[in-house]
Amino acid sequence: MSIVPLGVGRSSIALQMNRAYNSLSSAQSLLSKYEQQMLSQRQYEHGSDSPYQASTALAVQAQMERKAQNAANIQSALRYFTATDNTLGKFETQTRDARTLALDAVNTITDGAQRKTMAQDVKLIAQQLFDFGNYSYQGRYVFSGSSTSRLPFEWGADSQCDLSRCRV
């Protein structure tokens, strides 16, 4: 706010009163504007009040939205990878069990009936491993590569030997 001196010289009283009134009116307008800013806690009411700060505020807001989206993407990927890791852990356990059965079947003291039972167990493990390969998380097949909406494996279609026809 600036104080305009009231000229003393050849100005009329009406002109001096008009200047004083205009000065008081502009001061009151500024006071009203600052009061409104304090009440609304906004420095600018319109973007055109300060275009540079408005564009800066928009850029900061866009960056905050991108960071929030990145955080959501990271959380989603983390849940997906956790589900994948859990499935691979189950796969590893089943594979170890199948290996143990195979080593027991090779043992010389194992008879034919025991080997047949072990073969059935290995067949069940193979089916479970196949099911693990078709595991889906939130509607996406985990082990289907880039086409996550397509079933990655079909029992019997991907293997050379159908386990029901393999001899023990």
Residue-wise pLDDT tens digits, 52-91:
878 888 899 999 999 999 999 999 999 989 998 999 999 8
**Shared domain check, 57 and 37:** no
**pTM over cut 0.85:** no
**Shared domain check, 101 and 57:** yes
> Is residue 51 over pLDDT 50?
yes
Q: Is the CB of residue 90 less than 8 Å from the CB of residue 132? A: yes
Confidence of residue 168 (pLDDT cuts 50, 70, 90): very low
> Is residue 37 over pLDDT 90?
no
**Shared domain check, 89 and 18:** no
Phi, psi of 63 (to 5 degrees): -65, -40
Residue 103 belongs to what H/E stretch? Answer: helix 51-106
Residue-wise pLDDT tens digits, 113-135:
888 888 899 989 988 888 888 88
**Shared domain check, 117 and 84:** yes
Q: Is the CB of residue 110 less than 8 Å from the CB of residue 103? A: no
Q: What is the span of the domain harbouring residue 20?
A: 13-42
**Residue 148 within a domain:** no
Structural domain count of the chain: 2
